[in-house]
Amino acid sequence: MSQSLQALHPSTTEYIDVNGSQVPWTFSTYDEEYNALRTFAGLFDHSPLGLLKVTGDVIPFLQRVLARDVEFMTPDNSLMSLILDDAGNPVDLVTIYMLDEYALVETGCGAVEATRQHLLAHAGTDVEIELLTGEWSVIGIEGPYSWGVVGEVIDRAITALPYEAVTAVQWQGEEIIFARSGFTGEYGYKVVGPVGVLGKLWEALSAHAQPVGYGVLETAMLEVRQPVLRIECERGRGVITAGMNWLIDTTKEEFVGREAVLEHFADPSTQRTIGLVSNGPIAEGAAVLAGDERIGEIAVAVRSPATDSWLALATVPPELASAGLELVASDGSSTTELRTLAAPYIVPASWTTPML
């Protein structure tokens, strides 16, 4: 993580290690941060995300290495996509920011070097890939009133950018890249730029918005069924099992991993992921039972303040991946009643909060 941004974190910040990157897990308390995100505005230090700059024959290259179709992607737009290896396994889940003369690739936490090496292996001589991590970084702001904070601190004119739009703007005499993008289902924005500029911007934004750690971020992502790759593809779970089908365009004629992932699509035995809710704690790795029959296991479980309950994801046979089923989780010593849900599991406030 950039030391410049980490130095601005409060002394109460707790960190976890994700693939060698120090990720801010909480800045204050889980409930305080969750409440800020879902009711007003939360500020994220996305320094653990990596950044790569791609120049040259960008579109044909990205079309080869991304699982989603970017053939007609234009400058000033962004897109989230999986990157797969030849066996159809996930290399990374990235966001592409397309600009006039280059593209930025935002990688997952601690994944920038593995992703860079994968892209270099498929780059040929038509593109150049430059590592920006350490010099450039990313901060985000999300929440039902994040637009108000952005308008106050940066520029009111950019708050109503269309979703996935990207533009270069001036802030205090410095150029930054501003995107309408996020992870939580709330109004969201990301700012990409040199670390020194983002440090000043972090201080300005934190006067109006609550810093929020990745503990709350991952809960909020689960609530609206945004994938957390590092968790959901553990223990050999593939991208189809994890429910990331929407991040793959199978109609594309060619991309790395296409044949393998099409086989997973077509295999009727490939398990699927379903959402669950419980009134009590659920142990990750616990067995999921239908009557006395084990049908799967809990992949991830979090406490959701919005629902005053626990939310979980479990892998189950495809014929059981439906909402409204009554199941049980068992960790060998206790059981917890479960009910399967359809996504999203909450309705974010931003969906009913107009920008003024």
Q: How many CA atoms lie within 13 A of 309 on its CB side?
A: 16
Mean pLDDT, rounded, of the chain? 94
DSSP sequence for 253-313: S--TTHHHHHHHHH-TT--EEEEEEESS---TTPEEEETTEEEEEEEEEEEETTTTEEEEE
The Cα–Cα gap between 30 and 116 comes to 33
User: What is the reported pLDDT for 4?
Assistant: 64
Please report which confidence band the pLDDT of residue 268 belongs to, taking 50, 70 and 90 as the band edges.
Answer: confident
Q: Side chain identity at 298, as an amino acid letter?
A: I
* Phi, psi (degrees; rounded to nearest 5) at 304: -110, 105
Q: Is the pLDDT of residue 209 over 90?
A: yes
- How long, in residues, is the chain? 356
pLDDT score for 247:
94
Question: For the segment 82-104, what is each residue's pLDDT rounded down to a tens digit?
Answer: 999 999 999 999 999 999 999 99
47-83: pLDDT as tens digits: 999 999 999 999 999 999 999 999 999 999 999 999 9
What does the alpha-carbon distance between residue 21 and residue 252 come to, in Å, rounded to a whole number? 34
What is the DSSP secondary structure assignment for residue 342, as one 8-state letter? P
158-162, 165-169, 199-203, 233-237: which has the minimum mean pLDDT?
Answer: 233-237
The predicted structure's pLDDT at residue 1: 39
pLDDT, mean of residues 11-37: 96
Mean pLDDT, to the nearest integer, of 23-44?
A: 98
d(CA 217, CA 166): 22
Which band of pLDDT confidence, cut at 50, 70 and 90, is reported for residue 234?
Answer: confident
Query: With bands split at pLDDT 50, 70 and 90, how would you rate the model's confidence at 265?
Result: confident
Sheet of 188-194: strands edge to edge? 166-171, 174-179, 188-194, 136-142, 42-45, 210-211
Q: Which domains does the chain have, with CATH numbers?
A: 1-267 (3.30.1360.120), 271-344 (2.40.30.110)
User: pTM for the complete prediction?
Assistant: 0.95
Nearest in space to 33 (alpha carbons), one of 252, 185, 25: 25
CA-based torsion, 231, 216, 108, 22: positive or negative: negative
Cβ neighbors of 71 (< 8 A, separation 6 or more) are 59, 63
Region label for 35, one of left (φ > 0), alpha (ψ between -120 and 50) or beta (otherwise): alpha
Only one residue has tokens 């533009």, namely 167
